[in-house]
C-alpha cells in the first residue's frame, strides 16, 4: 500500500475530487461558449484529474467529509480582506527573514530567492502562506505575490 498517512491520502482525494468537479464544469462552460481550445484544455484536465482520483482510490483514499464541506462553502469575499487578515499578513512577512535565517543555519537554504523564499524548509512554508493570504487580500498578480499563486 502507501506510505502516506491515511489522513494525507484522504485530504489529497478530497482536493482531487473538488478539482475534478471544477474541471468538468469548466469543460461544459467552454463547450457551451463555443471555445474549442478551452474545452480541449479542460477535457485534458478532467481526464488527468479523473486518473488521479482513481489512483488515490486504489491506494485506499476516501474523501474527507469535513474537508469536503469546507471546500463546498468557500470563505465569503468580505471576510478575505479585513484589518485582522492584513495584520496577520504583515506579521508573517516580518517573520520571513527570520525563518530564512533559521533555514540557512540548518543548512536548508539557497543562495537566492526561489518561489518567494531562499529557505527550503520553514521559510518555504511561510512564503506559501504569505502567498495564499496575499492572494486573498490583493487578488492574483505578480506584483503582489511574485507569481507564487
Give the range of the structural domain holding residue 82, as residue numbers without chain letter.
Answer: 9-138
Assign 113 to helix, strand or coil. strand
Give the pLDDT of residue 143. 61
Rounded CA separation 127/110 (Å): 14
Whether 16 and 10 have beta carbons less than 8 Å apart is answered as no
- Mean pLDDT value of segment 29-55: 90
Rounded to the nearest 5 percent, the helix, strand and coil shares of the chain are: 70, 5, 25
Give the DSSP letter of residue 76.
P
Whether 2 is in a domain gets the answer: no
Whether 4 is in a domain gets the answer: no
Whether 144 is in a domain gets the answer: no
Whether 19 is in a domain gets the answer: yes
Whether 18 is in a domain gets the answer: yes
Domain count, the chain: 1
Output the nine-digit C-alpha cell for 128. Answer: 506559501
pTM above 0.75, yes or no: no
Whether 146 is in a domain gets the answer: no
pLDDT greater than 70 at residue 71: no
Whether 107 is in a domain gets the answer: yes
Radius of gyration, CA atoms only, the chain:
19
Whether 108 is in a domain gets the answer: yes
pLDDT greater than 50 at residue 118: yes
pLDDT digits (tens, 9 = 90+) for 75-114: 777 888 999 999 999 999 999 999 999 999 999 888 888 7
Amino acid at each position: 500500500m502507501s506510505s502516506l498517512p491515511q489522513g494525507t491520502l484522504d485530504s489529497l482525494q478530497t482536493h482531487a475530487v473538488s478539482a475534478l468537479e471544477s474541471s468538468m464544469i469548466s469543460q461544459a462552460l467552454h463547450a457551451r461558449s463555443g471555445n474549442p481550445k478551452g474545452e480541449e484544455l479542460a477535457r485534458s484536465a478532467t481526464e488527468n484529474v479523473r486518473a488521479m482520483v482513481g489512483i488515490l482510490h486504489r491506494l485506499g483514499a476516501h474523501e474527507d467529509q469535513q474537508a469536503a464541506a469546507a471546500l463546498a462553502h468557500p470563505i465569503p469575499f468580505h471576510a478575505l480582506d479585513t484589518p485582522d487578515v492584513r495584520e496577520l499578513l504583515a506579521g508573517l512577512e516580518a517573520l520571513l527573514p527570520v525563518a530564512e535565517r533559521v533555514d540557512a543555519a540548518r543548512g536548508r537554504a539557497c543562495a537566492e530567492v526561489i518561489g518567494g523564499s531562499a529557505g527550503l524548509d520553514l521559510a518555504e512554508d511561510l512564503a506559501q502562506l504569505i502567498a495564499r493570504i496575499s492572494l486573498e487580500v490583493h487578488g492574483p498578480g505578480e506584483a503582489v505575490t511574485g507569481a507564487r499563486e
